[in-house]
Amino acid sequence: MALIKEIDYGTPIRLSEKTVTLSIDGQSVTVPAGTSVMAAAMSLGTKIPKLCATDSLEPFGSCRLCLVEIEGRRGTPASCTTPAEDGMVVRTQSENLSGLRKGVMELYISDHPLDCLTCSANGDCELQDMAGAVGLREVRYGYEGENHVFAKTADGLANENWLAKDTSNPYFTYDPSKCIVCNRCVRACEEVQGTFALTIAGRGFDSRVAAGPTDFLGSECVSCGACVQACPTATLMENKVIEHGQPEHSKVTTCAYCGVGCSFKAEMQGDRVIRMVPYKDGKANEGHSCVKGRFAWGYANHRDRMTKPMIRARITDPWREVSWEEAISHAASEFKRIQARYGRESVGAITSSRCTNEEVFLVQKLVRAAFRNNNVDTCARVCHSPTGYGLKTTLGTSAGTQDFKSVAKADVILIIGANPTDGHPVFASRMKKRIREGARLIVADPRRIDMVKSPHIKADYHLPLRPGTNVALLNALGHVVVTEGLIDESYVRERCDLDAFEQWARFVAREENSPEASEQYTGVPAADVRAAARLYATGGNGAIYYGLGVTEHSQGSTTVMAMANLAMATGNIGRDGVGINPLRGQNNVQGSCDMGSFPHEFSGYRHVADDSTRQVFEMMWGVPLDPEQGLRITNMLDEAVDGTFKGLYVQGEDIAQSDPNTKHVTAGLAAMECVVIQDIFLNETAKYAHVFLPGASFLEKDGTFTNAERRINRVRQVMAPLSGKDEWQVTIELARALGYEMSYAHPGEIMDEIARLTPSFAGVSYDKLEKLGSVQWPCNEKAPTGTPLMHVDRFVRGKGQFMITEFIATDERTGPRFPLLLTTGRILSQYNVGAQTRRTENGAWHDEDVLEIHPFDAESRGIRDGDLVSLASRSGDIALRAEISERMQPGVVYTTFHHAKTGANVITTDYSDWATNCPEYKVTAVEVRRTNHYSQWQEKNFEEDVTLRRIAERLPDAAE
Amino acid sequence: MTEAALTTADAGSAGDDRKAEHLAKLARMAGQIADFFKAYPDAEAVPAVADHINQFWTGGMRDAFIDAYSARPEDLPPLLRRALPLIRPARGS
């Protein structure tokens, strides 16, 4: 196994219908028009020396190393900035060029340290490579002159040109003495990431890379790592490489954070990860990354990792470490006992959206075939279940319509209830790039998120609606489209159900749905709504991107359908650059839904009551299956509190932290007789568990994840499971102990079974994934290489179905006791319940949840920035620090739920989406006041962090 | 079920409260479903409400709901009342 090195063409690959043919060093080559001479040469395998060029960035032409000679042209043009032309005759080597390049290198090296042997880039330094390539043998200028290399001058005085290292960022170091000012980092920050945090300060010899007027950590830098990756020297270098040296082999795998599903090269020394480098051929990210995937993987080896199975009789007992056999047979006998006593329906499982498709498939199979009921649900229940319901009802399939790349063809981008720069940063970079190229932007969000305005990005319209009024806003947009004659009539006539369309059009045209009438609910000026609707309907390709701000409401499913109505009415589904796209929260939330994790569906979204589907599963699995749908997570907890649901197998989920109304969740868990947790840490839910089965991190797994664009990506094991067992193996052993035989030698065999049982996965195999890198489902006979765009000629369901989407205000209302609305979400550096990111250096950016509050609301309550405040709702109260922020609108406060000790979900309520029971996280009536103590729940929780986590014969650890 | 009923009965009135709370929650969920479909004409809305419940609620939830409200349908909003007879009892019950 070797280190995977992608080819660097030097300048971006151009797409063009037209090709040009030229001669380079006597060889003829044909390339797409617009390709640089440098990239054309590289396509022949000819490496023209270069320093400032790399194919992730537009050509810059500053290093003067890539000079070539072109017949009929004067001088020696830079090959990176010269487009290839028909009939061009290029020479990349000559006496003249060689002399020029040597001269350039000589100047570079005269102001560069000669500590190559002890340099962290040793073995991976382009400057060193180029010195070798041009045959540099001496530096006639010496090294004593004015320089940026030495802290002191020859006479012992301080060197004013010298700058110390910047080690403020926990993951990488900036060493200015090694900088050749090639601008690659600055350009990566602008072009790839789109943050514009870096610049070149000074001019001429004083030119320095700078993170604005401050250090890296204090700057706008989002630590995506693009600059580090672009740096050709050791100027920007991962601290792990500085510490351990260069990696020696690598494997391509898939990030286990958000639903973007970035491909990474895990670069290793033995079984130690040295760094994760975004993989250029990964279709989801095309070589880009964010701070989480790139740097925040250290949790995999954190000392909190649990690696031994444990059991206990009562949750107040200390845990007892036992053998795998004992833990599994204990769990199985408990489930059997409970089913015998309380009935077949009294147990169930929750599958994880962080685990692989194969692992998830086995857990739902265990429930259906070994528990013999359908009580299986997944955390998609609490995030994107309305997406599944809404898109299936209107379009016929429970997933987004586009690939990520499609955004590059969008003309108008409509973002609703999503904060991509924080939640889906790598996709946000693509989106920002398109906006910088001129795409128009509409943002519907209660908060002034970064997409509303940030460097070189400005929304044409920000519609700052009141939380809970999405449907009113979307109906108002639909109203304008219908009443102002902006319908794409031929599209609707050809592709949609006309009766349903007319029913919808009559409904949405009613006066109560006009922007003027709905302003009283949404708070958004009617004129802005009208202008935004006109822009979306008439501005060319209109693409909708949305997140949990849409789904996590009482009317989450209604909003999804309202978006589908709007997109169908304007003809914006079924080609590149348009569509409706959920930005999914967790790495494999799409996959866990696809794999049959919902209590009413087998894999591929087929209802359990459907006899023909069920018979196929019964035949393959050799047992009769229950035709009745099972319990959803919320129903399981309700029935647990009610006393009828008694046993739960939780795969890699932390419902005690992530699910709403914590007190209700923990009451449900505490009422159960057997809770089995399979996880890598003793999470919050594990406080209520009786059996702990140690899990594996993504670095320890073989399998697949499916991202938000339906792309199935391979996850490859780079180190052995710390617990000694693969997670899928544990599920198999548990099934066997329950009396149901499962047998697979490798996750690839589980995928083969998935393919046999699931029409949309029929063409998926590990062999194919190996060959193609990834595929987007549906992948079957009709689409053997997968389906990047859905609904191209017709909707999956046949005719597009318009649905009537009446606005019904949530029952959660503000009033004198709870006058403010709380909405919750996430930030860039932390992920979900924080179990992973809190165990990394990402705390440098966000080490506690804070309450964002508008200055007006703060002032009227006497709250100053940094004050401890009490946040109370009808469900409960917590205390946290206030951060005064004009990103909020008056009357709305915001917090994150990343830190267990805060307990943000103590505040959220039981209210949920009408169709799917997806909880209403985004609207909670609250009051905020100053306080000087933590809440009763928090105090109790601090105590239980210790009392419910004791392990026999071990000293209690400090609570995390 | 009888076992479960016994254990909750131990808790006395607390168990009754929990049962009532559970029923209230089911009624609320059903009410939300009816609220969505009430924009449709009755001929479409009534079967749609029942169908939604038949597709997504467990047999146990449906039985509990039918048991509680068959005797007092007047406690339900009109659309839900009309949909009640179309809600399917659990298989085998």
pLDDT tier for residue A154 given thresholds of 50, 70 and 90: confident
Structure tokens that stand for A543 in this block: 């693409």
- The minimum CA-CA distance between A506 and chain B, rounded to whole Å, is 12
The per-residue pLDDT for range B25-53, each reduced to its tens digit, is 999 999 999 999 999 999 999 999 999 99
Nearest-by-CA chain B residue for A667: B18
Q: CB distance B36–A628 less than 8 Å?
A: no
Smallest Cβ distance to A806: which of B8, B39, B52? B39
Statement: residue A503 has pLDDT above 50: yes
Of the candidate CATH numbers 3.30.70.20, 3.90.1150.10, 2.40.50.140, 3.20.80.10, the domain formed by A172-301 belongs to 3.30.70.20
Set of chain A residues whose Cβ sits within 8 Å of the Cβ of B40: 503, 804
Residue A672 contacts by C-beta under 8 Å, 6 or more apart in sequence? A640, A645, A646, A647, A648, A688
Mean pLDDT of A182-198: 97
Please give the pLDDT value at position A543.
98
Number of cross-chain residue pairs from A and B with Cβ atoms under 8 Å apart: 75
- The minimum CA-CA distance between A342 and chain B, rounded to whole Å, is 6
Q: Does B64 touch chain A (CB under 8 A)?
A: no
Whether the CB-CB separation of A640 and A671 falls below 8 Å is answered with: yes
Set of chain A residues whose Cβ sits within 8 Å of the Cβ of B18: 641-643
Of the candidate CATH numbers 3.40.50.10470, 2.40.128.120, 1.10.10.10, 3.40.50.740, the domain formed by A310-383+588-776 belongs to 3.40.50.740
Q: Does A245 touch chain B (CB under 8 A)?
A: no
- The minimum CA-CA distance between B39 and chain A, rounded to whole Å, is 7
Q: CB distance B58–A507 less than 8 Å?
A: no
The per-residue pLDDT for range A47-80, each reduced to its tens digit, is 999 999 999 999 999 999 999 999 999 999 999 9
The per-residue pLDDT for range A288-303, each reduced to its tens digit, is 999 999 999 999 999 9
CATH fold group of domain A403-582? Dimethylsulfoxide Reductase; domain 2 (3.40.228)
> Among all chains, which residue has been given the structure tokens 């580090």?
A228
Statement: residue A198 has pLDDT above 70: yes
Nearest Cα residue to A435 out of A417, A416, A418, A459: A459
Please give the pLDDT value at position A957.
55
Nearest Cα residue to A427 out of A260, A546, A548, A620: A260
CATH 3.10.20.740 domain position(s) in chain A: 19-134
Set of chain B residues whose Cβ sits within 8 Å of the Cβ of A607: 55
Distance CA(A300)–CA(A717), nearest Å, equals 13
Q: CB distance A804–B39 less than 8 Å?
A: yes
Structure tokens that stand for A862 in this block: 């006497």
Rounded percentage of chain A residues whose pLDDT exceeds 70: 99
Q: Does B47 touch chain A (CB under 8 A)?
A: no
Please give the pLDDT value at position A958.
47
Mean pLDDT of A372-396: 94
Mutate to test the interface with A, among B58, B62, B87, B93 (most CBs of A within 10 A): B58
Set of chain A residues whose Cβ sits within 8 Å of the Cβ of B22: 638-639, 641-642
CA distances from B72 to A251, A614, A950, B57, B77 (A): 64, 36, 51, 21, 11
Task: Count CA atoms within 13 Å of residue A465 on its CB side.
Answer: 30
Q: Does B63 touch chain A (CB under 8 A)?
A: no
Listed range (A104-108, A675-679, A953-957) with the worst mean pLDDT: A953-957
Distance CA(B67)–CA(B78), nearest Å, equals 18
CA distances from A134 to A9, A131, A140, A829 (A): 19, 6, 16, 43
Q: CB distance A914–B29 less than 8 Å?
A: yes
- The minimum CA-CA distance between B92 and chain A, rounded to whole Å, is 11
- The minimum CA-CA distance between B7 and chain A, rounded to whole Å, is 7
Nearest Cα residue to A923 out of A549, A658, A635, A563: A549
Set of chain B residues whose Cβ sits within 8 Å of the Cβ of A638: 22, 25
The per-residue pLDDT for range A82-100, each reduced to its tens digit, is 999 999 999 999 999 999 9
Task: Count CA atoms within 13 Å of residue A338 on its CB side.
Answer: 25
Set of chain A residues whose Cβ sits within 8 Å of the Cβ of B60: 345, 639, 644
Smallest Cβ distance to B18: which of A642, A912, A915? A642
Nearest Cα residue to A316 out of A948, A953, A783, A887: A948
Mean pLDDT of A151-163: 92
Mutate to test the interface with B, among A610, A626, A804 (most CBs of B within 10 A): A804
Q: CB distance B40–A346 less than 8 Å?
A: no
- The 10 Å Cβ neighbour count of residue A151 is 10
Listed range (A359-368, A618-627, B1-10) with the worst mean pLDDT: B1-10
Please give the pLDDT value at position A398.
86
Nearest-by-CA chain B residue for A608: B55
Q: Does A673 touch chain B (CB under 8 A)?
A: no
Mutate to test the interface with B, among A644, A645, A664, A673 (most CBs of B within 10 A): A644
Q: Which CATH class is domain A820-947?
A: mainly beta
Q: Which helix (H) or strand (E) is A619 found in, with range?
A: helix A611-621
Smallest Cβ distance to B56: which of A342, A558, A600? A600
Q: What CATH architecture applies to the domain A19-134? A: Roll (3.10)
Please give the pLDDT value at position A13.
87
The per-residue pLDDT for range A639-651, each reduced to its tens digit, is 999 899 999 999 9
Smallest Cβ distance to A628: which of B1, B29, B90? B90
Task: Indicate the burial class of A510 (C-beta count within 10 angstroms; 0-12, 13-18, 19 or more).
Answer: middle
Q: Does A702 touch chain B (CB under 8 A)?
A: no
Higher model confidence: residue A143 or residue A393?
A393
Distance CA(A196)–CA(A189), nearest Å, equals 5
Q: Does A663 touch chain B (CB under 8 A)?
A: no
Structure tokens that stand for A435 in this block: 């906006």
Please give the pLDDT value at position A953.
77
pLDDT tier for residue A839 given thresholds of 50, 70 and 90: very high
Distance CA(A218)–CA(A197), nearest Å, equals 10
Q: Does A56 touch chain B (CB under 8 A)?
A: no
pLDDT tier for residue A265 given thresholds of 50, 70 and 90: very high
Set of chain A residues whose Cβ sits within 8 Å of the Cβ of B80: none
- The 10 Å Cβ neighbour count of residue A498 is 11
pLDDT tier for residue A654 given thresholds of 50, 70 and 90: very high
Structure tokens that stand for A70 in this block: 């072109």
What is the number of residues in chain A?
960
Q: CB distance A607–B55 less than 8 Å?
A: yes
Statement: residue B11 has pLDDT above 80: no
Nearest-by-CA chain A residue for B19: A642
Set of chain A residues whose Cβ sits within 8 Å of the Cβ of B11: 643
Distance CA(A902)–CA(A905), nearest Å, equals 9
Distance CA(A605)–CA(A613), nearest Å, equals 10
Q: Does B19 touch chain A (CB under 8 A)?
A: yes
The per-residue pLDDT for range A892-943, each reduced to its tens digit, is 999 999 999 999 999 999 899 999 999 999 999 999 999 999 999 999 999 9
Smallest Cβ distance to A554: which of B3, B32, B58? B32
Mean pLDDT of A486-500: 97
The per-residue pLDDT for range A583-595, each reduced to its tens digit, is 998 999 999 999 9
Set of chain B residues whose Cβ sits within 8 Å of the Cβ of A506: none
Nearest Cα residue to B28 out of B71, B75, B86, B67: B75
Distance CA(A603)–CA(A671), nearest Å, equals 31
Distance CA(A914)–CA(A573), nearest Å, equals 26
Mutate to test the interface with A, among B32, B63, B91 (most CBs of A within 10 A): B32
Listed range (A144-153, A316-325, A523-532) with the worst mean pLDDT: A144-153
